[in-house]
Structure 1
């Protein structure tokens, strides 16, 4: 296992848990290097989502 975060992991208030789209090699919240992302650091907005087809944005 290349990730050093133990699960289950609790996401603190004001943070998000991010996963990369290529999970075997992504640097994401499963690694203590990235960890949880503070919502104040999120600057984008979803304007188009391909999957899942039936879920509104």
Structure 2
């Protein structure tokens, strides 16, 4: 919705869609096989990166 409010979309929307797609297509067997700790670390890193991208796209 931030893209709609600002009238532009870009890297942050693409990154957010990537995060959402990974979550939607993840299943518990794959998560446990890869490692729950690693999954959570990647999720946190992805969201941190999203914050950085949003900052550059809309605030700087």
Superposition TM-score, scaled by structure 2 size: 0.23
Q: TM-score, normalised on structure 1? A: 0.24
Q: Which has the higher strand share?
A: 1
Identify the structure with the greater helix proportion: 2
